[in-house]
């Protein structure tokens, strides 16, 4: 699909609308835009439509931009946008430029309405709760694809590893996929942008590989493997050629996404701000950069000062600035909180057990250590109890797992990394995602359980007993929205 279709025809005119009205206008128009894009799809695919070097899109809190460092890209010649499978799926089906290179429920719903549930994203192999669900009518499709429509979740089916240290005793799946050997999990499609900052590919790291000497392969190798698996799995096609895979990887690794405009704070590059994807694209990254556990290959010590992009806004006064002053100070306070808030980290498998420490005096950056990016700089899957059975909602399964050596029984909504390694210690573990471009792709967490960034923050506040004030919450969310 030509994602350039989504660009507003007149950004300058749009900027003149008052922020609240602009937000309402953007979302009122979103369904219409998607309806028109579906109609334009056949034309776009057969033409020389391009992904330009820079695109800007509206989101609930302002605007974000995609910077195509290798662009412009002719979509008629790049397999990321081509039909390589048998079910109409393409990479772009679940990785839309207008959704910060993922997909969001509002736009998925609009695609359903425009096509009565026949858009290629709606396929029973992984778009429905279970492939056996009825999709013969529009009403049936609406039910079968409910997780995709409401939370933007795709079904991932994995076999229990043959030498797993655990046994699945029961799989209570509301959609009928109740096997205890082939387990269905439901996860958000990760964005195909900012990939040069990745240390781990996929939520459970199943596309992250090591060399024979135990070192990790370059991320480009992981992404190449992932492109093949996505084509043969999600698109139900034959493996793409090495040349096609290389084109996909080349395109993906030259895309950067970040927020550029905030409805309250205005231009995120104003008065010394450093928002936007061009600034992001020049940030330094290597595996282990700023790692908190001594894995930085340079030997440099960890610093919890992860972000500095809005440091210049901390001292803005009302008389020095315009109507954006208060919002910019709030963002600077939120950035400072992210960098300095002390977090008593307890009960996190992958941290506390590894360090043999009941309580780690950490920071946000302990788990989001990459400077000005915010993900793990090394593969470090963690269990923050997001999938604990006590948090199960009726739209997710509950899987009962027993560790064979101890007899300990655990209930989770997603077995996580353990379905890759077979290890009991990896049950419920997932990677932390890159934090840039957040405002454009709600909901959050791998299972879409946080509808908003405030919901995500409230989870952490409760989980780690932070006792944040309402202003602290507001400031932190204001900051996260500008990433």
- Read off the pLDDT band of 451 (50, 70, 90): very high
What are 328's two structure tokens?
Answer: 């910019």
Overall average pLDDT of the 277-301 stretch? 96
Asked if the model's pLDDT at residue 26 lies above 90, the reply is no
Helix (H) or strand (E) holding 182: strand 182-187
pLDDT at position 212: 92
For residue 319, the model assigns a pLDDT of 74
317-333: pLDDT as tens digits: 887 668 999 999 999 99
Q: How far is CA 149 from CA 103, 122, 319, 334, in A?
A: 10, 9, 46, 32
Question: pLDDT digits over 339-382, tens only?
Answer: 999 999 999 999 999 999 999 999 999 999 999 999 999 999 99
In whole angstroms, what is the distance from residue 286 CA to residue 226 CA? 21
pLDDT score of 17 = 40
Nearest-angstrom CA–CA distance, 226 and 275? 30
Centre a 10 Å sphere on the Cβ of residue 43 and count the other Cβ atoms it contains: 11
**Structure confidence at residue 9 as a pLDDT band (50, 70, 90):** very low
Q: 94-106 pLDDT, tens per residue?
A: 999 999 999 999 9
| pLDDT attached to residue 322 | 81
Confidence at residue 71, expressed as pLDDT on a 0 to 100 scale: 85
pLDDT of amino acid 20 = 44
The continuous run of DSSP H or E covering 280 comes out as: helix 277-281
Q: Which residue has the higher pLDDT, 21 or 382?
A: 382
Mean pLDDT of the chain: 91
Model confidence at 22: pLDDT above 90: no
Please tell me the distance from the alpha carbon of residue 34 to that of residue 113, in angstroms, as a whole number.
10
Tell me the C-alpha distance between 144 and 162, whole Å. Answer: 30
CB 27 within 8 A of CB 20: no
Cβ-in-10-Å burial (0-12, 13-18, 19+) of 376 comes to buried
For the chain, report the end-to-end CA distance as a whole number of angstroms: 26
Residue 478 pLDDT exceeds 70: yes
Does position 38 have pLDDT exceeding 50, yes or no? no
Say if CB 277 and CB 342 are below 8 A apart. no
258 contacts 280 by C-beta, under 8 angstroms: yes
Confidence at residue 320, expressed as pLDDT on a 0 to 100 scale: 67
The pLDDT of residue 29 is above 60: no
Domain ranges of the chain: 3-104+188-386+430-480
Residue located via tokens 């240390």: 199
Cis amide bond preceding 72, omega within 30? yes
Q: Is the pLDDT of residue 7 over 90?
A: no
Which pLDDT score, from 0 to 100, does residue 318 have? 81
Q: Quick check: 447 and 419 in contact, CB under 8 A?
A: no
What pLDDT is attached to residue 48?
A: 53
Cβ contact 414:388 at 8 Å: no
Give mean pLDDT, residues 8-32.
Answer: 39
Return the percentage of the chain with pLDDT > 70, whole number: 90
Backbone region of residue 448 per phi and psi (left: phi > 0; alpha: psi in -120 to 50; beta: other values): left
> Of 102, 108, 89, which is closest to residue 230 (Cα–Cα)?
89
Residue-level pLDDT at 285 = 97
Question: Model confidence over 42-58: pLDDT tens digits?
Answer: 323 334 599 999 999 99
- Taking only the tens place, the pLDDT of each residue in 144-203 is 999 999 999 999 999 999 999 999 999 999 999 999 999 999 999 999 999 999 999 999
For strands 398-403 and 166-172, give the pairing.
Answer: antiparallel
Residue 1, pLDDT > 60, answer no
Question: What is the DSSP annotation of 118-179?
Answer: -STT--TTTTSSSTTS--SSHHHHHHHTHHHHHH--EEEEEEPPTT-SEEEEEEE-TTS---
pLDDT at 27 over 90: no
Percent of the chain with pLDDT over 90: 87
317 close to 326: Cβ distance less than 8 angstroms: no
pTM: 0.90
């Amino acid at each position: 699909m030509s994602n350039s279709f989504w660009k507003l025809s007149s950004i300058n005119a749009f900027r003149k609308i008052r922020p609240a009205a602009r937000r309402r206008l953007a979302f009122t128009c979103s369904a219409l835009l998607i309806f028109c894009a579906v109609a334009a799809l056949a034309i776009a695919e057969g033409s020389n439509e391009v992904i330009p070097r820079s695109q800007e899109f509206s989101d609930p809190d302002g605007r974000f931009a995609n910077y195509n460092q290798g662009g412009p890209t002719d979509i008629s010649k790049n397999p990321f946008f081509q039909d390589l499978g048998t079910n109409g799926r393409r990479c772009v089906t679940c990785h839309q430029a207008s959704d910060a290179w993922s997909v969001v429920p509002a736009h998925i719903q609009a695609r359903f309405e425009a096509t009565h549930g026949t858009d290629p994203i709606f396929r029973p192999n992984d778009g429905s709760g279970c492939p056996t669900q009825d999709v013969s009518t529009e009403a049936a499709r609406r039910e079968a694809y409910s997780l995709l429509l409401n939370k933007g979740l795709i079904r991932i089916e994995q076999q229990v590893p043959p030498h797993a240290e655990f046994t699945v005793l029961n799989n209570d799946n509301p959609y009928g996929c109740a096997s205890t050997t082939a387990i269905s999990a439901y996860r958000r499609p990760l964005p195909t942008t900012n990939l040069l900052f990745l240390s781990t590919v996929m939520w459970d790291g199943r596309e992250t590989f090591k060399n024979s000497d135990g070192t990790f392969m370059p991320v480009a190798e992981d992404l190449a493997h992932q492109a093949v698996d996505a084509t043969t799995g999600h698109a139900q096609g034959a493996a793409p050629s090495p040349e096609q895979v290389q084109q996909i990887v080349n395109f993906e690794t030259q895309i950067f996404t970040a927020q550029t405009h905030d409805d309250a704070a205005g231009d995120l590059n104003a008065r010394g701000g450093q928002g936007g994807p061009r600034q992001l694209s020049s940030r330094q990254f290597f595996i282990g950069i700023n790692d908190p556990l001594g894995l930085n290959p340079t030997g440099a010590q960890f610093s919890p000062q992860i972000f500095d992009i809005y440091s210049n806004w901390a001292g803005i006064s009302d008389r020095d600035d315009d109507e954006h002053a208060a919002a910019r100070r709030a963002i600077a306070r939120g950035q400072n909180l992210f960098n300095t808030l002390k977090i008593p980290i307890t009960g996190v498998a992958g941290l506390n057990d590894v360090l043999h420490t009941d309580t780690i005096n950490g920071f946000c950056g302990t788990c989001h250590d990459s400077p000005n990016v915010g993900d793990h700089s090394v593969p470090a899957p963690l269990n923050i109890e997001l999938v604990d059975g006590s948090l199960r909602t009726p739209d997710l399964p509950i899987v009962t797992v027993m560790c064979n050596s101890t007899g300990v029984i655990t209930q989770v909504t997603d077995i996580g990394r353990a379905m890759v390694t077979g290890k009991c210690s990896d049950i419920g573990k997932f990677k932390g995602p890159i934090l840039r471009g957040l405002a454009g792709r709600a909901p959050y967490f791998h299972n879409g359980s946080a509808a908003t960034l405030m919901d995500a923050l409230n989870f952490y506040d409760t989980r780690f007993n932070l006792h944040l004030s309402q202003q602290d919450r507001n400031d932190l969310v204001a900051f996260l929205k500008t990433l």
